[in-house]
Amino acid sequence: MNEHISIASMGCISAAGKNMAETLQTFKQGHVNIGKITLFETDLDKPAFEVKDYVLKRKNRTLSLLLTAVEEALENYDGNLAGSKYRIGICIGTTVASQLNNIKFYKEFKETGRSDISPVNEYLKGNLADALAREYKLNGPKVVVVNACSSGADAIGTAMSWLKNDQCDIAIAGGADELNKIPVCGFNALGIISDKPCAPFDKDRKGLNLGEGAGVLILERAKITSKINARPELFIAAYGSGSDAYHLTAPHPDGRGLKSAISEALFQANITCGQVGFINAHGTATPDNDKVEGKVIKELFGPEIKMYSSKGYTGHTLGAAGAIETVFTALALKEGWVPKSAGFKNKDEEIGISPLKQNTKVNSKYALSTSLAFGGNNAALLIKKEA
């Protein structure tokens, strides 16, 4: 049960870059690639983080983003998926791809009682885990995790459970979501989309920006990595999750689910808060999320902990966020530096902790990535670098 799970390879795409190298460049230069919404028509004049100059691999944009991240991960992967003797699982988090939400189909049906069924067929073909299984001819366990904004993190946690429980030997885990009209309208109605580039943890933060992208990790039981890849370097040390049991859209004021998620992860890895070098926070820049999350981080790790939110570079990528940020966290551990928290200017005394204002060197063995979601889902992934 306490078998190590290694990160054999990774890939990501977001407005911060179409691969890991581009993303690191964006972080280094502090670019914030936000702009007007161009992917669909809307009356809402809100900025968003779109992946620009992107040639779709499939008609389904979410699947396309996912495939881009998977392909990057495979390019950097020492093993082979095709014809592998190992059992390979697929676990992907999303929000948009799971919804039957084609407006044209629905409008026509509503008006005439009939509608061309082809958007439904596309939807039925669009289950992300199924689509990857077909693409790479894999027949291990596969499922899509739909825990709203913690989906990507929980998908990685689910894949870990499979690996530790001998359900498979290798897993493709991650999350993907496209910028879509439905969440844009929905989050706007909730009053939590900012008119300006988002400012996580800032005292004047006015809400989130939506984004899109995908993050993917190829995870392996460490004993298999040592056969394929001589020396695994990065590991998922632990995953924890907890539910607020509180409210559909508001986080528990004391962050009880988040605390129990973080505690579970630290307990599983058998380490203390003091051993965590830095935290990639969920930090959406909504007043509620950042207040609760910041307070929990301060309470558990102290006000000096190195902490940042990468949402200032990517926007909130919903079901992809937890996976993209796990990739960022692992990359930062590997590269030895973390980006500044874009958008942050002034400390919010009510939170009592500031994120990093400069790109900062880090030299630690462990780092944490947190996710909070509608429905009171909270997840924490602990990443480890083997010296």
**Residues belonging to the active site:** 149, 282, 316
Q: Whose Cβ is closer to other proteins: residue 72's or residue 177's? A: 177
Closest CA to 344 of 195, 193, 191, 203: 203
Supply the minimum distance, in Å, between the C-beta of residue 18 and other proteins: 27
Instruction: State the residue for tokens 């558990």.
Output: 300
Q: Whose Cβ is closer to other proteins: residue 87's or residue 340's? A: 87
Supply the minimum distance, in Å, between the C-beta of residue 133 and other proteins: 10
Binder of other proteins out of 1, 82, 230, 387 (CB under 8 A): 1
Q: CA-to-CA distance for 199 and 372, rounded, in angstroms? A: 17
Q: Whose Cβ is closer to other proteins: residue 99's or residue 360's? A: 99
Supply the minimum distance, in Å, between the C-beta of residue 383 and other proteins: 19
Q: Whose Cβ is closer to other proteins: residue 185's or residue 356's? A: 185
Supply the minimum distance, in Å, between the C-beta of residue 336 and other proteins: 32
Q: CA-to-CA distance for 266 and 239, rounded, in angstroms? A: 8
CA separation, residue 181 to residues 85, 124, 322 (Å): 42, 20, 21
Closest CA to 192 of 149, 150, 241: 149
Q: Whose Cβ is closer to other proteins: residue 35's or residue 186's? A: 186
Q: Which DSSP category does 203 fall into?
A: T
Q: Is 17 in the site for other proteins (CB under 8 A)?
A: no
CB atoms within 10 A of CB 279: 25
Choices 208-216, 252-260, 324-332, 337-345; region in contact with other proteins by CB under 8 A? 252-260
The footprint of other proteins on this chain (CB under 8 A) covers a number of residues equal to 71
Supply the minimum distance, in Å, between the C-beta of residue 166 and other proteins: 9
- Rg of the chain over Cα atoms, rounded to whole angstroms, equals 20
The answer to whether the beta carbons of residues 156 and 173 sit under 8 Å apart is yes
Map the footprint of other proteins across residues 287-306, applying CB under 8 A.
288
Choices 52-60, 92-100, 340-348, 355-363; region in contact with other proteins by CB under 8 A? 92-100
Q: Is 253 in the site for other proteins (CB under 8 A)?
A: no
Parallel/antiparallel/unpaired status of strands 366-372 and 276-281: parallel
Supply the minimum distance, in Å, between the C-beta of residue 165 and other proteins: 4
Map the footprint of other proteins across residues 28-47, applying CB under 8 A.
42-44
Closest CA to 180 of 316, 287, 289: 316
Supply the minimum distance, in Å, between the C-beta of residue 89 and other proteins: 10
Q: Is 106 in the site for other proteins (CB under 8 A)?
A: yes
* Residue 308 phi, psi dihedral angles, 5° rounding: -155, 165
Q: CA-to-CA distance for 113 and 197, rounded, in angstroms? A: 43
Q: Compose the 129-158 pattern: x for residues touching other proteins by CB under 8 A, - for all others.
A: xx----------xxxxxxxx-----x---x
CB atoms within 10 A of CB 374: 17
The answer to whether the beta carbons of residues 70 and 128 sit under 8 Å apart is no
CB atoms within 10 A of CB 361: 10
The answer to whether the beta carbons of residues 234 and 310 sit under 8 Å apart is no
Binder of other proteins out of 84, 229, 260, 364 (CB under 8 A): 260
Map the footprint of other proteins across residues 336-375, applying CB under 8 A.
373-375
Binder of other proteins out of 25, 59, 76, 100 (CB under 8 A): 100
Phi/psi region, residue 137 (left: phi>0; alpha: psi -120 to 50; beta: rest), is: left
295 Cα distance to chain centroid: 21
Q: Compose the 208-247 pattern: x for residues touching other proteins by CB under 8 A, - for all others.
A: ---------------------------------xxxxxxx
